Amino acid sequence: MKKILALICLVLITAAAYLYINNYIVEGLKAVDINDNTPIRVEIPSGSTTNDIAEILYENDLISNIRAFKYYAEKTGSDAKLKAGTYVLSRNMNADDLLNSLIKGGASGNTYDITVIEGLTKEEMAEALADQTGLDYERFIELMESPELFEDDFEFFKDSSLTNLQGYLMPDTYNVYADSREEDIIRVLLREFDKFYRDEIRPRMENTPLTFDEVINLASIVEKEALLDEERDEVAKVFLNRLEINMKLQSCATVNYANGVWKERLTYDDIEIDSPYNTYVIEGLPPTPINSPGKISIIAVLEPADVDYLYFVAKGDGSHYFSNTYDEHIDAAEEYLR
């Protein structure tokens, strides 16, 4: 009798283990999000093993289980057929879809590249996207002014109270599907921003007195004020030093944004404009970012230079002269703004 009970227990344990493992594998082979067809560009280097490929897919949130994907690729014989190359994949693809794409080879003619440069307002970005994609400018604007459509899909929204997407659409070059619609394109940019937020911004937030939205806000000012990447951390520190002592930012970039025209030199009339974006008048930061800044400007705000500067003046060659005192700043202005 004991032997029979032991045998029954063994059968039950074996069956339970089989069901658990089978379910573990089946779940790991499903699409991460069946409703998300946002294009994700993935580079598979030459010489990558099946495990390497699985890790790359996992890092890009395209699979949920590295072991299950690797096991399935080996079991189906797909592992020996996977090719290196550039792929455009999406989270609504299951393991079979992903393996089929990786067997066929890199991205084909059903995709194209779009480029979004740093420092664009939402209107400028909508125009650039419409020009490159042939899609509708007004629809891009509508989506940029409707952040509630995306707030459940990206982590950075939890730390933000943004009223539109200006500032949060990451400048970069993207490979997108030829049949992408306006919302698909916006999601591509938001996904890249969200990844940068998780990987680079959030880990550094404990080092700044600013909120997340204030970081992006100030970074958008730095983006326009600094032409040289190597000066961005110094420009950021000037504004941070001013904020710390409750000194007006007096950023020409914010005045230009308020006026809707870009001028290298402002007049007294320009800086008297009645606008919440005129930092010659208001205290602190403007209400929202004035553009979508690039990664270097954002990091500059989070990791500013260790300097005491309160002023800077353009030298005419793209660089700036930085000063600690007002008198020194006036002397520099007289020299460089003749």
pLDDT cut 90: percent of the chain above it? 61
Q: Which of 145-149, 210-214, 265-269 shows the lowest mean pLDDT across its residues? A: 265-269
Q: Are 89 and 96 in contact (CB under 8 A)?
A: no
C-alpha angle 318/323/326, rounded to 5°? 120
Specify the pLDDT at position 22: 58
Would you say how long the chain is, in residues?
Answer: 338
Mean pLDDT score, 244-259: 94
Specify the pLDDT at position 262: 79
Specify the pLDDT at position 248: 96
Mean pLDDT score, 68-95: 89
What average pLDDT does the structure give for the chain? Answer: 89
Specify the pLDDT at position 118: 97
Half-sphere exposure at residue 43, Cβ-oriented, CA atoms within 13 angstroms: 4
DSSP 198: I
At residue 11 the predicted structure's pLDDT band, cuts being 50, 70 and 90, is low
Whether pLDDT at 205 is above 60? yes
Tokens 């599907």 appear where?
A: 177
Beta partners for 321? Answer: 313
Whether pLDDT at 160 is above 90? yes
Specify the pLDDT at position 107: 58
Mean pLDDT score, 77-91: 87
Q: Where in the chain is the domain with CATH 3.30.1490.480?
A: 23-104
Whether pLDDT at 335 is above 60? yes
Q: Which amino acid is at 54?
A: A
Whether pLDDT at 109 is above 60? no
Specify the pLDDT at position 42: 86
Mean pLDDT score, 23-34: 80
Q: Are 258 and 273 in contact (CB under 8 A)?
A: yes
Q: For 112-157, what is each residue's pLDDT tens digit? A: 889 999 999 999 999 999 999 999 999 999 999 999 999 999 999 9
Mean pLDDT score, 70-78: 90
Specify the pLDDT at position 10: 60
Q: At what angle do helices 212-225 and 232-244 cross, to 10 degrees?
A: 130
Q: Is the dihedral of CA 167, 168, 174, 179 positive or negative?
A: negative
Residues 6+ apart with CB under 8 A from 1: none
Question: Following CA atoms 243, 246, 252, 257 in sequence, which dihedral angle do they give, to the nearest 10 degrees?
Answer: 80
- What separation, in Å, do the N-terminal and C-terminal C-alpha atoms of the chain show? 104
Whether pLDDT at 338 is above 70? no
Specify the pLDDT at position 23: 63
At residue 321 the predicted structure's pLDDT band, cuts being 50, 70 and 90, is confident
The first and second tokens of residue 61, run together, are 């949130």
Distance from C-alpha of 228 to C-alpha of 78, rounded to nearest angstrom:
48
Distance from C-alpha of 9 to C-alpha of 59, rounded to nearest angstrom:
40
Specify the pLDDT at position 131: 92
Mean pLDDT score, 279-307: 97
DSSP character string of 31-74: -S-TT----EEEEE-TT--HHHHHHHHHHTTS-S-HHHHHHHHH
Widest Cα–Cα separation across the chain: 104
pLDDT higher for 141 or 20? 141
At residue 2 the predicted structure's pLDDT band, cuts being 50, 70 and 90, is low
Residues 6+ apart with CB under 8 A from 229: 296
Mean pLDDT score, 88-98: 90
Specify the pLDDT at position 88: 82
From residue 43, give the alpha-carbon distance in Å to each of 46, 53, 56, 68, 175.
Answer: 9, 9, 8, 21, 12
Q: Which of 129, 123, 124 has its CA nearest to residue 141?
A: 123
Q: Are 128 and 120 in contact (CB under 8 A)?
A: yes
Mean pLDDT score, 178-184: 91
DSSP alpha helices (H): ranges in the chain?
2-29, 50-59, 66-75, 95-104, 122-133, 137-144, 182-196, 212-225, 232-244, 252-259, 295-302, 326-336
The CATH number of the structural domain formed by 23-104 is: 3.30.1490.480
Q: Which of 20-24, 165-169, 305-309 shows the lowest mean pLDDT across its residues? A: 20-24
pLDDT cut 70: percent of the chain above it? 91
Q: Are 221 and 277 in contact (CB under 8 A)?
A: no
